Amino acid sequence: MRRLSSLAAVVALLGVSASAAGQDAPGSADHPMVARFKGSVIRAQARQDFNQYVLPLGPADKSETKFQKQQDIEGKILKTLYDAPAGSSPLAVYRSYQTALQQAGFATLFTCSVKQCSPDGRLQYAVKATRVGDYIKDLGGRSLDDDAAYLLVTHQTKNDVYAVVYATQFWHDSTHVVYIVDVIEPKPLESSLVTVDAKVMAEDIGKAGHVALYGIYFDTGKAVLKPESKPALDEIAKFLGMQPTLKLHVVGHTDNVGTLAANMTLSKQRADAVVTALATAYHIVPARLIGNGVGPLAPVAPNSTEEGRAKNRRVELVRQ
């Protein structure tokens, strides 16, 4: 893991409370870059080695299921729900993180306070839609106060880390302040999770007529190949070199997030990007490859979970 140099600055400014540590949810801990507000206790926590995160870049949308402006990012995610100590306020939590994160090199991407966060829709519901599960259950079924809410979205370029802080209080209970700290470290899916190998491609296409590839990466909603895709492209080119007469369909697949028309177009564009890369960088004869896209029409897992959606976002090679 990269050395996180801003650890000392954040811990010093926020002051981790050793006395609260024993009361934390079992197995939970602060992120090494972002400490807790002094005296707080971890109520619940979710860790994910790889998932998609909805980054708020605007207030709650009228639909109350998303934000007016948002961005999907993928990587390692730690979501922590804290109880603030007695006598604190959402503003105190917000200001402490605002100061600490700024001094630790985090730039503010978006921030809002009180009713600015919910001019058209309730912020708590937009936030709820981004949770791993129903975090309201972790709150004991209590509702939150949108009129007391603060939201802070930051990014540190040095380590490429995002920190999102949402501070509020229970509805009609200003004595009980709660806040969420999400820390996201963008990264592609670990190559160890899915092996892309020329020999395996040959075996799968020989047996099933197709092979699914997960080592080809694009930014969300885009069709430009990321540099991390090179090992997979190397193996595809090697496989095609092993079978010089083989012709393939290169088929793009997406999850079901967004409209069908947009996903159909995006999947075709991504397939074409792979075809172009193989033809230009690896000198594969273009006539051997046909790019196409089926969007979300051929899922291999449910789209109701991020894990399922990640499996559905893929490129497949299909024998012509």
> pLDDT tens digits, residue range 155-180?
999 999 999 999 999 998 999 999 99
> Mean of the pLDDT values across residues 107-133?
84
Q: Do 11 and 103 lie in a common domain?
A: yes
Place of tokens 């033809």: 279
Q: Give the domain extent around 53.
A: 7-186
Q: From 186, 214, 245, give the residue that closes a domain.
A: 186
> Mean of the pLDDT values across residues 81-92?
95
| 265, pLDDT greater than 80 | yes
Cβ-contact 58, 67 below 8 angstroms: yes
At 181-190, the pLDDT tens digits run: 999 998 765 5
Q: Do 158 and 233 lie in a common domain?
A: no
Buried b (16+ CB within 10 A) or exposed e, 181-199: bbbbbbebbeeeeeebebe
Q: Does an H or E element contain 20, and which? A: helix 18-21
pLDDT more than 90, % of the chain: 58
At 225-260, the pLDDT tens digits run: 998 899 899 999 999 999 999 999 999 999 998 899
**Is residue 32 a part of any domain in this protein?**
yes
Residue type, 51: N
Q: From 164, 186, 208, give the residue that closes a domain.
A: 186
DSSP 220-283: TT--PBPGGGHHHHHHHHHHHHHSTT--EEEEEE--SSS-HHHHHHHHHHHHHHHHHHHHHHS-
At 274-286, the pLDDT tens digits run: 999 999 999 999 9
Q: Do 66 and 153 lie in a common domain?
A: yes
The pLDDT score that the predictor gives to residue 8 is 35
**Is residue 2 a part of any domain in this protein?**
no
Ranges 47-51, 107-111, 178-182: which has the least confidence: 47-51
- The whole-chain average pLDDT of the chain stands at 86
Q: Terminus-to-terminus CA distance in the chain, angstroms?
A: 43
Q: Do 300 and 256 lie in a common domain?
A: yes
CA angle 46, 48, 53 (to 5 degrees): 90
C-alpha distances out from residue 81 to 6, 30, 179, 180, Å: 22, 10, 6, 5
| 301, pLDDT greater than 90 | no
> Mean of the pLDDT values across residues 209-229?
89
**Is residue 1 a part of any domain in this protein?**
no
User: Could you tell me the CATH number of the domain that includes residue 295?
Assistant: 3.30.1330.60
The pLDDT score that the predictor gives to residue 131 is 59
> Mean of the pLDDT values across residues 119-142?
73
Q: pTM of the prediction?
A: 0.59
The pLDDT score that the predictor gives to residue 18 is 34
Tokens at 254, concatenated: 């997406």
| 141, pLDDT greater than 60 | yes
The pLDDT score that the predictor gives to residue 215 is 85
Q: Do 88 and 19 lie in a common domain?
A: yes
Q: Do 103 and 195 lie in a common domain?
A: no
Look at the chain and report how many structural domains it folds into.
2
